[in-house]
Structure 1
């Protein structure tokens, strides 16, 4: 490739090792006034000829003048042409540097200098990239498809790649197989074990390799009756109902199995069995009822023992007091009784009673409270007569506890009184207590009643000291 002077002198860089003042004395006397070499103001930058100066020179000579006309002074010409310069492609990686007169010859062989593609594709390619261009990117190169082995030009090969029917590609169903593009449709439609297939029984879609497992659970799969009855067309999801209500050969237990009947036979014989064995079934049921009654009584006894209070203190909640008071005024001697409680786990069994409209001296004016001793499980081990002090407390339900004023009464049992002796199976119906515990008027003065409910505490003190 031949270049004109203007082409190869368009950009010139001088190494800094050339002193800008070298031969300065000679240059002052010999350089033509039309050409003035300039030095960069930066002392670290290499001296270089300005592009506009070279272009002005070339324009003035109209690109046809001889070098002798541009540099009439041979000494100035020699000085400039002997200046050491870098290759104009040094920024692209060329490390060449030499005298200016040798630049033109270097550019003809510089690997970084562009030249037309040798295959005549029209591209200007740097010499260093020419080999790669001819092999990989030139649109006029000849190449062969590695899959179908057909020859193409470079441009047509690029269009062919990605459409070649012989190129193996991964199945879109992610089965892991590589299939030629031309056979992919056939593979996805019939061979791929990850394709979706409709179950022929329930018509739902499943992955092909899971179909066998689905058939073991599918509710619409036809199955045969395990009793080998004559019914046909059964499916798995209807089998349970068939065996329970429809299969004529299924062995069934008698409806009185839980009562003790051990008969077991085909469905058609059950009705006959029930008709012929009614008296026997009635006897079994009576025996079962008796057994269950004993079990219920035992459970109730155990439950009552678990719910008993063994602390010696009873907090008795009396709710709906207004209705009970109204009933007591119309019904003479109406008595409310508390749940029974024990003084300890193996102690005395007691029960409190309350008369809303009073009893004895407190009738129609006061609330009466009493305590009575009930027959207990451990009476044979206890000391008689009963001698523990007993106290009754009516709680003031004021919202301010420090302002509450409870009503309390207590007594120490008289050992000579018969109600404190060991009770018989039929205890005294009244007991011992306070007929005039609290007046009806006092109930209205303070907060003894709240939400139509009162709380009474009955406390047994084994120290025989009157509780306060």
Structure 2
């Protein structure tokens, strides 16, 4: 930049002075305005025509040219450091970029060498760790084997001579393990031993089959007993009612109560302890019932009897299903004797009643012994003196710490 007084200054130096107002020439101290300072293109051309060396001369660049061509040269100078094009983070001389991308860069793409997959170089070892075509050294014979063929190589029918094999008579009880040659000699030399194992296995198989047959016979006997009890129950209902029993009108529910001693002990301490059965229905779209049992008795029979109740619970679709307001029915509670020779010994209580599902009440129980519960229900019937504790222990009503109670309900009585 040239001032009015004819002196030359750098533009970056004189402009901050001009912004303060009037400029005082540092050489001759003459004051002048900012508008009186103008570019000196003649001297600029002279300066830009000066010959210079490349900024990377110390690194080996031989370029020499005018100052005005400096920036253009720097954009293509092979000795300038630039960031890797693959974003690996390395600074590389421009003229070495091609070599770096092909041979050095950690982000370059390379072939696996074993399969047809292209992978990033820095992840090549991870790929080799799972490549199915990568060759591994067999741990038994040292032979190089493709990974996907290794299991077959060391298998019983494979080619590895040193892989450990089980004896062909392993299932019969022979514990020997050795390589292929050792197993061949073992089978040839131990024929008598293997024959004895096979004979023992055959004997055990016969014993197992005999036990299975005995179990099947016992199961058939139990099924026959259940069928006999069901037929007796149907005959009993038909005899008492005086009319044939319809399958749609009779409801039979068998309740298995386990851990009886635990329930009895808790009930002796807390008379509110009771247990509820799973819900069951008298028939499809019928009444929803549950049985309630107090092991230590209820009401005035506490401490000496077992009390049983049958409850009618509200159902999800009660508002959509029209049930009769009153039904005359007959019910029975049967405690089954579990002694094998007691085919017909039971403790049974029965009664007739009118089912009125609109009479709703609540029962206050401590079902699991942890917290109190208030259960809404409709009372169908209660038998607080169902069976005394003395009578309960007189026969095999309790077996394996469990009891079986059979509930039968006959609807639509005349």
TM-score, scaled to structure 1 = 0.41
Q: Give the number of the structure whose residues are more often strand, by fraction.
A: 2
Higher RCO structure (Cα 8 Å, ≥6 apart): 2
